[in-house]
């Protein structure tokens, strides 16, 4: 595993984008290890710095009977096993300040959910761990306003921070991604900017109480965002999205991951060449 996660997230020597990918939530050890194993092979082949993503618990569900996890300790130990067995960094979400130190024992990056990006105590607690902090932009915020969330982390003594675009609320049950947001957030925040190519395509809180999505547009959002200057890509993936216990409507099937990543590598190379003109 890299000793300097900040250098890793900055794409390494060739400036490639980095990838955060994995299941929405840890459903069990076998599925997590299988996804991590297959993703490591793909990303090493393509020269993409890879961070395994898995939530140990989902707190923001539409319905009280929605799946939230297999138990915090059990899921965190699985994340720790992914980290040690495959020698790759790991990212997970936290929801309350007291979760920061607990999760930090098992992961390299702490992720702040979009709805919680203004929660000062949560940001300060995440910063205090010394881990890299990835803040998802609230669906209700402008790109430039994310500078205030980033500054809360920095002013707490931690300069290891990134921000993630995951769409802006459009009407009641849709999201849009404004490509102007990538250069705006880079300038305002002065840190790596990531596109969440799967949650950006959510259609939240449908009448059934289950979030829908437009997974057929994942490639469109990911490619457009790389062309607009995104430094990293976040995608949720699963062996069988239709059987996933959380957010299956937005996931990219695992067997489609490599072909999309190959396109994104080409897009990133073209973007970097364009900067030289």
CATH numbers and ranges of domains, the chain: 5-275 (3.20.20.70)
Spatial contact of 81 and 228, defined as CB atoms under 8 Å apart: no
* CA 253 vs CA 26, 33, 97: distances in Å: 16, 16, 33
Spatial contact of 114 and 163, defined as CB atoms under 8 Å apart: no
> Taking all residues of the chain, what is their mean pLDDT, rounded to a whole number?
90
E-assigned strand segments in 78-200: 90-93, 109-112, 132-136, 161-165, 168-169, 175-176, 193-196
The whole-angstrom distance between residue 197's C-alpha and the CA centroid of its chain comes to 9
Quote the pLDDT of residue 62.
57
* CA 100 vs CA 111, 128, 130, 166: distances in Å: 10, 8, 10, 22
Quote the pLDDT of residue 211.
64
Residue 94's closest CA among 54, 65, 52? 54
Which residues of the chain are under the pLDDT cut of 70? 1-4, 10-13, 60-68, 204-212, 247-248
Quote the pLDDT of residue 270.
95
Quote the pLDDT of residue 205.
61
Q: If you search the block for the tokens 């995440």, which residue do you land on? A: 126
pTM beyond 0.85: yes
Spatial contact of 41 and 52, defined as CB atoms under 8 Å apart: no
236 φ, ψ (degrees, to nearest 5)? -95, 140
Dihedral of the CA atoms 126, 127, 133, 137 (nearest 10)?
A: 80
Q: Kind and range of the H or E element at 202?
A: strand 202-203
């Amino acid at each position: 595993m890299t000793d300097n996660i900040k250098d890793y997230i900055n794409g390494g020597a060739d400036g490639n984008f980095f990838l955060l990918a994995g299941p929405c939530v840890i459903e069990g050890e076998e599925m997590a290890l299988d996804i991590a194993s297959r993703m490591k092979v793909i990303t090493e082949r393509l020269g993409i710095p890879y961070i395994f993503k898995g939530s140990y618990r989902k707190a923001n569900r539409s319905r009280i009977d929605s799946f939230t996890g297999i138990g915090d300790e059990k899921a965190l130990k699985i994340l720790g096993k992914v980290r040690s067995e495959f020698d790759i960094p790991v990212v997970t979400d936290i929801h309350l300040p007291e979760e920061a130190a607990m999760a930090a024992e098992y992961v390299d990056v702490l992720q702040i959910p979009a709805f919680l990006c203004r929660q000062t105590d949560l940001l300060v607690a995440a910063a205090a761990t010394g881990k890299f902090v990835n803040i998802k932009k609230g669906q209700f915020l402008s790109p430039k306003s994310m500078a205030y969330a980033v500054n809360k982390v920095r002013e707490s003594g931690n300069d290891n921070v990134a921000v993630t675009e995951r769409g802006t609320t459009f009407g009641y049950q849709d999201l849009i991604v404004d490509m102007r947001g990538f250069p705006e957030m880079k300038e305002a925040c002065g840190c790596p900017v990531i596109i969440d190519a799967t949650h950006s395509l959510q259609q939240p809180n449908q009448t059934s109480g289950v979030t829908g999505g437009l997974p057929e547009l994942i490639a469109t959002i990911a490619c457009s965002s790389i062309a607009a200057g995104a430094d990293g890509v976040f995608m949720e993936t699963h062996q069988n999205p239709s059987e996933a216990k959380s957010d299956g409507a937005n996931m990219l099937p695992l067997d489609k991951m490599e072909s999309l990543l190959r396109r994104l590598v080409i897009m990133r190379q073209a973007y970097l060449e364009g900067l030289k003109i």
